[in-house]
Amino acid sequence: MKVGDRVRVKAPLTLFNHPKFRNQPHNVEGMEGVISAILTDWEGRPISANYKIVASFEVEGAKRPFKAHLHEDELEVIE
């Protein structure tokens, strides 16, 4: 996986920061988005982030893309 790849959430995953369902549990399994960053360092120092892939998802009616930090096992690359 690399920045710019299209991905789909393949695992059942409940998030609470979805723009349309703020502060409510929402299952994002099946949502498609784009990898916007892979976190490997912070201010030039290496880090060991547990959820290092940042994916952006377009949500209809939202002002900006919905972003989530995810693990590699929770995503699949879409060709």
CATH code at 38? 2.30.30.50
Q: How confident is the model over 42-78, as pLDDT tens digits?
A: 898 988 888 899 999 988 877 888 889 999 999 999 9
What are the C-alpha distances in Å from 44 to residues 39, 40, 41, 47?
11, 9, 6, 9
Range(s) of the domain holding residue 21: 6-77
pLDDT over threshold 80, residue 4: yes
Characterize 56-78 residue by residue with b for buried, 16 or more Cβ atoms within 10 angstroms of its Cβ, and e for exposed.
bbebeeeeeebebebeeebbeee
In tens, the pLDDT along 9-22 reads 998 988 887 777 77
Question: Would 67 be classed as within a structural domain?
Answer: yes
In degrees, rounded to 5, the angle at the alpha carbon of residue 37 between the alpha carbons of residues 31 and 42 is 140
The confidence score (pLDDT) of residue 7 equals: 95
Report the C-alpha gap between 58 and 23 in whole angstroms: 19
Give me the count of residues in the chain. Answer: 79
Question: Would residue 68 count as lying in a domain?
Answer: yes
Q: Let me know if residue 1 belongs to a domain.
A: no
Number of domains the chain is built from: 1
**And the tokens for 79?**
């060709």
